[in-house]
Structure 1
C-alpha cells in the first residue's frame, strides 16, 4: 500500500512546495516589483541587490515550476535550498528560530527543497519519465 501511495504523496509534496516558491518569486516581480525587491535586498545587506533581486525572483519562479513538474530536481532543490540559506543569513537569522520574522519557515523550505530534490520525484515526475529504461530490442539476425 505504501508503494502505491508514494508517487502520489511525492507529487503532492512537490506541488505544494513548488507553489510556495512560485508565489514568493511572483511577488518579487509583481507585488514588490524588482526595484522594490532590490531596495529591500540593499537594506538587508545582500550583495549586488540590483542583480540579486531578479536572479532570486527568477530562481523562485523557475525552481517552483521545476519542482511542480518534477524536472531537474536535484539542481532545483539545491538552488532553492541555497536561496533559503541566504534568506536566513541576511534576513531571518537575527530574529531567531521562532517568532516574528524568525527563520523556522525558511529553514523548513530549505530542508524540504533538498528532500524533494533528492527523492527522485516519484513516478509522476518529468525526470522519472525521461529516465525510464526502455526494454532492450532483440538483435535482428
Structure 2
C-alpha cells in the first residue's frame, strides 16, 4: 500500500468516525426534543428563550437533528444534512447560547460551536468513501447522495 492510498484510507476512516459520533449526538438531541421534552414542550422552551417563530423553529430543529443525524451516520445526503445541522447550531448560538459566554458549564456556546463546525466540515468534505451515498452512485466525485 503506497503512501497516497494509506492517506486516503485514513481520511475515509476519520470521516466515518466523525460522521458516526456527530450523527449519534444529533440523533440523541433530536430524539430528546420529540420524546423527553415533546415538540410542544420544545416549542414553549424556544419561546421562553426568545427564539423567533418557535412553532416553526422547534419542529424544524428536532426533525433536522434527528433525520440529519441519521443521514450523517449512514452517509446519505450528508452534505445537505451537514449544512442544515450547521444552520441549526448557528441559530442556537445566536439566539440562545452566545449571551452566556463560551463555556458550556455556564450555558455558553462551546459545545454547540463544536457540533456546528463538525457538521459544516462534513458538508464541505462529504462523507468519505465508507458511506451509503457512495454505494448509490457509480460516479467518482460529488454525488447528490453523498
**Structure 1 partner of 2:88:** 83
Q: Does 1:25 align with 2:11?
A: no
Q: Distance in 1 between matches of 2:56 and 2:126?
A: 31
Q: Across the two proteins, how many residue pairs are aligned to each other? A: 134
Cα deviation, 1:51-94, whole Å, max 9, x if unaligned, reads 22112101100000010111112211111000001100111010
Unpaired stretches in structure 1, ≥5 consecutive residues: 135-141
Unpaired stretches in structure 2, ≥5 consecutive residues: 1-5, 141-146
**Structure 2 partner of 1:137:** none
Runs of 4+ in 1 over 3 A off after TM superposition: none
1:102 to 108, 117, 121: 108
TM-score normalised by length of structure 2:
0.85
**Structure 2 partner of 1:133:** 139
Q: Indicate the structure (1 or 2) with the bigger Cα radius of gyration.
A: 1
1:44 to 33, 39, 49: 49
Q: Distance in 1 between matches of 2:52 and 2:127?
A: 33
TM-score normalised by length of structure 1:
0.88
What RMSD, in angstroms, separates the aligned Cα atoms of the two structures? 1.5
